[in-house]
Every structure is written in C-alpha cells, then in structure tokens.
Amino acid sequence: MDRPCGSFDENYKQDSAIIRTRTQWGWLIAFLILLATLPFITSAQILSTLNFIGITLIAVHGLNLLTGYAGQISLGQAAFVAVGGYTTALLNIHAGFSFWAALPVSALSAGIVGLIFGLPSLRLKGFYLAMATLAAQFIIPWCIVNIRPDITGGTSALIVPAPRLGGIVFNSQQSMFYIIMPMAVLVTIFVKNLVRTKVGRAFIAIRDNDIAAEIMGVNIFRYKMLAFFLCSLLAGIAGSLWVSWLRAVDADYFTLQESIWFLGMVVIGGMGSTAGAVMGVTSVRFMDLGVKTAANRLGELYPSAATGIFAGLGPFLFGFIILIFLIFEPHGLMHRWILLKNSYRLWPFSRY
Amino acid sequence: MDTFLQFFISGILNGGIYALIGIGLVLIFKASGIFNFAVGQLLLVGAFATWAFLKWLELPVWLSVLLAMVVAALVGLIIERLVTRPLIGQPVLSAVMALLALSVMLKGVFAFIFGPATVSYPADVLPGTPVSLSGASFSGELTWGFLIAVIVFGIVTLLFYRSRIGLAMRGTAEDHQLAQATGINVKHIFAITWMAAVLVAAIGGIIIGSKVGIGIHFTPLLGVKVIPVVLFGGLESIKGCFVAGLIVGILESIVGGYVDPNLMVITPYAILLLVLLFRPYGLFGQKRIERI
Amino acid sequence: MLELKNIEVMYQNVIYVLKGVSLSVDEGEIVALLGANGAGKTTTLKAISGLLKTEQGDVTRGRIEFMGKKIDHMSPEGIVKMGIVQVMEGQRLFKHLSVDENLRLGAYVRGNRGEVAKDLDMVFNYFPKLKELRNRTSGYLSGGERQMLVVGRALMAHPKFMLLDEPSLGLAPFLVKEIFEILKRINADEGTSILLVEQNAFAALSLAQRGYVMEDGKIVLDGLAQELRENEDIKEFYFGLSSIGQRKSYKGVKHYRRRKRWLA
C-alpha cells in the first residue's frame, strides 16, 4: 500500500531499499538541500528551535528504540542525557578534551550507565520496569549534584567551551546547526536501518511477546540490554550536543518532566516508527515554540495573569495532546500520515 | 539516645503519611491494574482547593477542608471517566503514559491558577504547637497528621475488608469479566476507587501543605516518593503499604539524620532499586495462585 | 421464558460467529446445547448473559427476549439483575477470596437484605462440602470443589435462569454424575430453568428435557432429549456408536458433516 501501483521490485537490492522511487529520491534530496540552506533563510529563533529539535530527535530515537521497538518503558531518558552532557562538560573543563574526543566518550559512558539501570529489566516488566527507570531518573542527577560538587559545580551551572574544528569556532546557532543536523540525520539513518536488521526484529519480537521470542531463540536478556545500551548511547550523544550547543550545563535541565516529554514525543509521533519520532519531536517542539510566543502575547495583554499563563499553558497543552493521542490515535501521527497518503492515492475510493 | 528517638519517631510520623497516600495507589492498582503515576499532582488537588477556599473565599477551616474533599472526589470521578476508562484494554505503556500526561496537564492547570510560588495556609489547618515526648519534640502538624493518617487508613481497610462494596472491589480486582458475570458494575467500582484514591491523596496533601506549604514543584516530588513505598510493600497489599511506609519513613529520617541530609532525598529510590532487584513483588505482594 | 430470535453475533465487527440462531427455553425447563468445539455454544451463552460486550463482540441482528423483555443491549450486570446468571467455563472463581466471600459476591446483585445467611444455608444444603471449606482460599480447591463453588455462587443470586458452560469440564465421571444430580435437584426445588452447554452429550441429554445441536454458528438439529438420544447421527458423532451399538470403523463414515458445510 505504500507504493503507487506499477512499481515492482526486480531484485533483492530493490526489495530491501528504503527509498524506492525516483519521486521519493527527489523529495529526499530536495528536503536535504532545504535543510542545508535553512540557516541562511530562517530567523534565529526558528534556527535555535531547529537545533533543539535535532538534539531532542537523537535522544528520542534512542527512547523509541527502547520503548517503541523493544517495548521496555523508560522514565529515565533525561538522566541518561545528563550523563552524556556532564561527561562532555567535565572532560572539556578538567581534562582538556576537545568536543570531538569527548563526544564518543560521553556516548559510551551514558551507554554503560544505561546498562546498569537496565539490569532490572532481566526480571521486570511493565510498571515495575518503569519504576526502576524512575529510580534512575532521581538517582543520577542526585549523584551529579552531590557526590563531587567541587568538580560538577553542584547545583550551579558549568560553563562549557564551544566546539572547535581547525580555526572554526562553533559558537553560533548557524554553525552549531551544521554539527547537530548532520548528526541527527546520521542517527535517523542508523536507527531506520537498525530496526530492519536481525537486532530490530529481535526487539520487536520481545515487545510483542517476550515468552514467544525466547522460545524462538531470541536471547532476551542480551537484546534487552542492547536496547538499553543503544537507548542511552544515543541519549549520551544528545547530551553531549546539548551542552555544547547551550555552552552550559545544569542538573536542572534533566528532570523527570523532561523524560516525560521525551516519552510524549514518542507517543505523539507513533511508537515503533522512525519517521514517527521525527514527526513527534518536530511537532512538539514547534508547538512549544508557538505556545511560548502565544503566552508572551497573552502575558502582555493580561499582565496580572502573565506568570500563570507562561508557566501553565505549555504543560497543560502538552499533557492534553498526549491524552488525546492515547485515546483517539494510539498509533500516533505517523499512522495518520500513512492513512492520509493512502487515501490520497486511492481517492475517490478511500474510506478515511 | 534522644536524638535517635527523635529521628525514629519523626520517621514514623512521616511514614504514616506516606502510607496514607500509598493506600490510594494500592486501591487503584488492585481494582484496575493501573499504577497511579499522577499521585504527585493529585496531592495538590486537595491542598490547593483547601488553600483557595481559605484564602479567596475566606471560609472557616473545617468547611474549606470539607469542600476540598468534595472537589477531590469529583476530580477522581472525572479522571476515571475521561482518562482511564477509555484506555481499558490498552497496553501497559498507554496507561503509564496517560497518567504521566495527566500529571503534566494538572501541573499546567495549577501553575496557571496558583502560580509557581510556594504558598502556605493563611490559618492553621492542623494545630502547630510542637508535641514533646521524653525530651524530644515533634512538629504538631505531623503528629496530628499521623493520627489522621492512621484513622483514615483504618477506615479504608475496614471498608475494603468488611463491607459489601469492599468485597465487590476485591472481586473486581481479581477478574473483571467474572465480576461482571456476577452482577458487579465494574465501571462503578473503578469510579469509586478513583474517588477514594484522590480523596486520600487530598488528605495527605493537606497534611503536608499545613506542615511545609504548597508549591507546584516540590509537593509533587514528595508524592512521587510514595511510589517506592507502595512497591516495597507489595503493589496489592494494604498491610504492606502501611509497614513499608513506616520503614521507608524511618530509614529516610535516620539516613538523613546520621549520614547526610542530602541523602534523604534519594533514600526511597535506592530502596526502590534494591526491592526491584531482589524482591519485585515486595514485602506482602501477591504471588499469583497458579494451580496446575 | 427465554427466546433467541435469529441472532447473529460478530466479534470486533469482522469475525462472524453466530449466523442466525433461534432457540427457546420454557419456565422450569432444562435444555441442552450440544456441538463440537468452535460451533458457537459459548458465544450463544455470552450473547444471552451480555458478556459478549466484554470481548468486543456484539449481537448484530435478531433479538433476545427474557420474559417478554428485550435484553440484547443490556449490560451484563443488568442482565444478572433480571435473573440470568452465567456459570462460565473452566470453573472461574475469585481465586484470592475465600469460599465464603465468593458465595457472598454471588449475592451481590440482591442488595444487603439480610437474606444472605439464609441463602448460604441453602447453598450448603446442596453442597455440604462447601460448608467445611468455608474459610479456605478458593484458589486452592480441587476441581470438583471449584465446580460446586461456582454453581453455588450462581445460586446465591437466586437466578430464574442459569446458563451453565461445560460444568463437566475436567471432572471425574462420578463427580460429573454428582454435579448433574444436584443440578436436577436445583431445577426441581427452586424452579430454575437451565441452559446447559456440554461436550459430554450423553450426560447432558439424560439430564435435559430438550436439546439443540449447533454446528458452525447454526442450529442444525433440535428436539426432545429422548428423540435426540435415539437419533442415528447424534449417536454416531457424539456417542461414537453405530446403530448396532458397537464402535464404528472409520471406513464407512457418513459424509453428513461435510455435506452440511457445503450448504452453509
């Protein structure tokens, strides 16, 4: 149903291709060119939102692998992002690592911390696992703040130097865009392909029926741990980019609230769908931007209620939208998009 | 010795309130198999409602509290009808996500109405005179709160184990379809459970509010601590909830007092991780009866 | 008393299970509903008791009447209140509750009228064994005791009409006999009508006054129990006997069932 009629595969290579028609190639190239030129044509505010989208997308791809594909609920994604962020910051400040050297180390360290907190998944499912990751969400930031406040700055923020490459200093939204976006695109391609391999199929098998998967010979523990590792690995990359982008890091960025937002983006986009993650992140971040703008306007109109509107409108709308999606479209935006495409193709014979 | 007694008893007092809030989670989990992750925000419902009646309408304390109870029950009813009922039969993740979304939404509502600043009750809801016992003295609000918690806990337990509706709730907890075949209106039971749960959360919220004030940021964090408590006691166990509440309260207070006050914040979560690793069904949780 | 008029049932709006079933049960009657696995017997019972709605099934056509009232769109608990109680397959009970609590839940629909103690005595009269087990956790009962408990629980609601789904499932033959005898007594003493779904066709037809045979979502045969017992096809398919009363060789098996499927 995803392709126009008359488009057939003639060999295995075509059969396993992600991009199947010339039109799709055309759209993709046009999109990538547009993406590459965006820094020159958009406002600084939109650009900073786009950068934030790129970073969030990497973290959400990780969470989508773990929750959407492997079916393990995690309420601790923000904490793993924090691990990556702080690793980069500390290596930068105290060990003189460049951003490029700190990035892989951060990813790996977040991945390993993720493995540790993934251990309970050996015995736990559903609510219980959600609670184990909830513990991670409280324990990790606490450790960052309290164990060595002399290094991590405790509750106060650390200043992180901007990444450099040769003579270029990446200290503007525009320049960071060219680090963040290629990274986000690469991660998207990686995840999209990963879920089509043996590993991805094992994840899906575990999600759909873990006992059946085990009987079929899927080593559940190994794959669950792999899912946790990859999830936190991507979180670590996101964290590293995040602090280099903001050029500051503070434990307050990585609260339970942030983890809930990540999960919400996965749900809104459509669980177990790479393109869904992209849609979820993009729509939620732009919604947030819209809400902030609207809240500013409303605040000017009704100065007495300004603080309330500013603090309350975003969370309220976000929670409300997730609920609406859960109740009316649990398959997310991606599912809607596919229905829309199909009904366009089949018009006037479509039902939706 | 006196300092130990001081820490020990204030731990018990705190633990009683954890247990009180926890019983709401246990009831909901038993009846519908859903874990109430929104408990933190639900504390605020009763706490803020009481505050609003006291401050804005300038009602007497008893009436404010009574009206807040009514508000809490209504909120419980609305949550059941609009959030959890449409999700019956959906996967666990949907239920988790729905309650998280609910908590985010409630946070937005509270931030909108009451603003982000911490407020405290204009009048004494619970008597604040410290209570002293053999040289140690304890906060008056906490002592009264503990007494109230124990009484409410007793009432709920009695209702659950001795009344007709409690029996129906326990039946529903076991098997929804069979309960319906027996003539129990499962939807009513869910609604009653949610009303009761938000009600006890409201009582807990008022007690906490009268001790330390109400804030949209820190009050929910106190509520989230109840999650480890409930899990430690065993998700289905009312008795476990009480015992675990006291244990967590005492441990927290002693760790905070003797080791490091900062550690107090994460003690419940450390306990949570240990429980999950070694005894996921908790102290008194049901191991399913499987007859082969 | 109970009448099904040409009902059709679909699950999830796609799976077409009952394709026009009509049957009736009179006051004080015991009627057996026979058929192979997957013929739609349990679905018929669930359509009557309203439990279909808990499994995303729906009565899409036809009507079900109980004492002249249409009940096909009532809620399961409403139907129980009208006096129809289903005893579900597999001796389903509230495992973590005691025997006593299980029985009390059975009386839940009738409100708190203080008659519960009297009803308990009535149930213990039929099933003396349950009295000894009163305070046991029901999950640890044996198969026979469980069956007694589920029938007892249904009795606590004072049903005018009982739907029994395979009460003989997993029980030893002498226990089946005992349970069926008690059912007969209940029918005679309390005047409860019974619609009985059974795999054990012989036992069911010796208890029932009338019987229906279902196949593939339809009633293919009905009549007095006596007639059905004598029916050649029933003998062959359900009792495994040929007309002479011997085991039949498979060589000469009639193609009755297959012919039926073609027509369907």
- Stretch C224-240: mean pLDDT: 79
Distance (Å) of CA C144 to CA A244, B27, B135, C178, C196: 71, 33, 64, 10, 18
Q: C200-216 pLDDT, tens per residue?
A: 888 888 899 999 999 88
Contact A131 B103 (CB under 8 A): no
B2 versus B61: the higher-pLDDT residue is B61
Please report, for residues A230, A283, B235, C141, the alpha-carbon distance to residue A63 in angstroms, rounded to integers and kept in the order given. 9, 17, 27, 46
Question: Cα–Cα distances in Å, from B180 out to A111, A249, C82, C85?
Answer: 47, 54, 14, 10
Residues of C in contact with B184 (CB under 8 A): 77, 105, 108
Residue C7 pLDDT: 92
Q: How far is it, in rounded angstroms, from Cα C103 to Cα C117? A: 10
Distance CA C119, CA C137 (A): 20
pLDDT given at position C263: 44
Neighbours of chain B (3+ CB pairs under 8 A): A, C
Are residues B282 and B237 in contact, defined by beta-carbon separation less than 8 angstroms?
yes
Name the residue with tokens 């529903």.
Answer: B172
Helix or strand or coil: residue A155? coil
B174: domain CATH number is 1.10.3470
Q: Are B245 and B229 in contact (CB under 8 A)?
A: yes
CA B236 to chain centre: 14
Q: What is residue B141's predicted lDDT score, i.e. its pLDDT?
A: 83
Backbone angles phi, psi at C137, to 5 degrees: -70, 125
Cβ-defined contact of C92 to B178 (cutoff 8 Å): yes
Nearest to A123 by CA among B278, B243, C143: B278
Q: CA-CA-CA-CA torsion for B171, B176, B178, B181, nearest 10 degrees?
A: 110
- Do C97 and C137 form a contact (C-beta atoms < 8 A)? yes
Does the CB of C109 have a partner CB in chain B at under 8 Å?
yes
Rounded distance, CA A100 to CA A165, Å? Answer: 9
Picking from A142, A260, A312, the nearest residue to B266 by CB comes out as: A142
Nearest to B168 among C75, C108, C137 (CB): C108
Which domain, by its residues, includes B247?
A: 7-127+139-278
CB contact under 8 A, A315 and B104: yes
Rg (CA), chain A: 21
Rg (CA), chain B: 19
pLDDT of C113 above 70: no
Question: Is the CB of B183 less than 8 angstroms away from the CB of C94?
Answer: no
**Confidence bin at C9 (pLDDT 50/70/90):** very high
Q: What is the mean pLDDT of residues B102-108?
A: 91
Higher pLDDT residue, B80 or B91? B80
Q: Which of A143, A117, A145 is nearest to A131 (CA)?
A: A117
Q: How much is the pLDDT for B126?
A: 80
Count of the separate structural domains present in chain B: 1
Domain extents in chain C: 2-230
Confidence tier at C262 by pLDDT (50, 70, 90): very low
Judge whether B158 lies within some domain: yes
One-letter amino acid at A103 equals L
Q: Are C97 and C138 in contact (CB under 8 A)?
A: yes
Q: Which two tokens stand for residue C132?
A: 């000894």
d(CA C14, CA C108): 35
Does C105 contact chain B (CB < 8 Å)?
yes
> Could you give the CA distance from residue C63 to residue C69 in angstroms, rounded to a whole number?
10
Place of tokens 């009646």: B53
Q: Which of A67, A263, A308 has its CB closest to that of B112? A: A308
Assigned token pair, A219 = 């080593």
Question: Predicted confidence band at B289 (pLDDT cuts at 50, 70, 90)?
Answer: very low
Q: Which of A4-13, B165-174, C132-141 has the lowest mean pLDDT?
A: A4-13
Q: Which of B195, B217, B222, B201 is nearest to B50 (CA)?
A: B201
Question: Which residues of C are less than 8 Å from B181 in CB distance?
Answer: 49, 51, 76, 80, 85-86, 88, 92
- Lowest pLDDT segment from A111-115, A279-283, C156-160, C254-258: C254-258
* C105/B171 touch (CB, cutoff 8 Å), yes or no: yes
Q: Which of A260-269, B254-263, C190-199 has the lowest mean pLDDT?
A: B254-263
Task: Report the pLDDT value the prediction gives residue A351, as an integer from 0 to 100.
Answer: 62
What are B's interface residues with C at a Cβ cutoff of 8 A?
A: 164, 167-168, 170-171, 174-186, 286, 289, 291
Give the C-alpha separation, A72 to C223, whole Å: 56
Helix axis angle, B92-114 relative to B39-55, nearest 10°? 20
Give A48-88 as a DSSP string: HHHHHHHHHHHHHHHHIIIIIIS----S-HHHHHHHHHHHH
Number of Cβ within 10 Å of residue A217's Cβ equals: 8
Residue-wise pLDDT tens digits, B8-46: 888 899 899 999 999 999 999 888 888 888 998 999 999
Alpha carbon distance B182, B185 (integer Å): 9
Chains that contact A by 3+ CB pairs under 8 Å?
A: B
Q: Which subunits count as partners of chain C given 3+ CB pairs below 8 Å?
A: B
For chain B, strand residue ranges (E) read 131-133, 136-138
CATH topology of domain C2-230: Rossmann fold (3.40.50)
Q: What does the alpha-carbon distance between residue C151 and residue C141 come to, in Å, rounded to a whole number? A: 14
Distance from CA of C263 to the nearest CA of B (A): 36
pLDDT at C240: 64
Report the residue of B88, B97, B110, B264 to disrupt the A interface, i.e. the one with the largest count of A CBs within 10 Å. B97
Rounded Cα distance between A230 and A236, Å, is 10
Of C66, C64, C46, C45, the residue nearest C56 (C-alpha): C46
Within 13 Å of residue A144, how many CA atoms lie on the same side as its CB? 29
Cβ–Cβ under 8 Å, residues B72 and B45 = yes
CB-based contact C138:C147 (threshold 8 Å):
no
Quote the ipTM score. Answer: 0.86
One digit per residue, the tens of pLDDT, for chain A of length 352 reads 466 677 778 888 888 888 878 888 999 999 999 998 888 888 888 999 999 999 999 999 999 999 999 999 889 999 999 999 999 999 999 888 899 999 999 999 999 999 998 888 877 777 788 888 888 998 999 899 888 888 888 888 888 888 888 888 888 888 999 999 999 999 999 999 999 999 999 999 999 888 889 898 999 989 999 999 999 999 999 999 999 999 989 888 898 889 999 999 999 998 889 999 999 999 999 998 998 888 888 888 888 777 778 888 888 999 999 999 988 888 889 888 888 888 887 777 766 5
Q: In whole angstroms, give the CA distance from residue A262 to residue A256.
A: 10
Query: Residue A206's closest CA among A273, A272, A112?
Result: A272
Q: So what's the pLDDT on residue C43?
A: 92
Domains of chain A: 42-346 (1.10.3470)
Whether B132 shows a pLDDT value over 80: the answer reads: no
State the average pLDDT for chain C. 85
User: Given pLDDT bands bounded at 50, 70 and 90, which one contains residue C253?
Assistant: low
Residue A341 has a pLDDT of 83
Q: Which of B104, B114, B219, B215 lies closest to A288 in space, CA to CA? A: B104
Whether B292 is covered by a domain: the verdict is no
Give the integer Cα–Cα distance in Å for B246 and B17. 9
CB C41 within 8 A of CB C47: no
Q: Which of C87, C85, C116 minimizes the C-alpha distance to C103?
A: C116
Q: Report yes or no: A93 and A247 within 8 Å, Cβ to Cβ.
A: no
**Two structure tokens written together for B225:** 């601590």
Alpha helix ranges (H) inside chain A? 12-15, 22-41, 44-63, 77-94, 99-118, 126-146, 149-152, 173-194, 198-208, 210-215, 220-246, 256-269, 274-301, 306-328, 332-346
Residue A207 has a CB neighbour count (10 Å cut-off) of 21
Which ranges of A195-273 would DSSP assign to H, the alpha helix?
198-208, 210-215, 220-246, 256-269
Rounded percentage of chain B residues whose pLDDT exceeds 70:
96
Chains C and A touch each other (3 or more Cβ pairs < 8 A): no
DSSP output for B262-291: GGGGTHHHHHHHHHHHH-TTTTTPPPP---
Is A220 within 8 Å of A94 (Cβ atoms)?
A: no
Q: Which two tokens stand for residue A42?
A: 């958009």
To the nearest whole Å, the CA of B176 is away from the closest chain C CA by 9
pLDDT at C22 over 70: yes
Contact B127, B229 (CB under 8 A): no
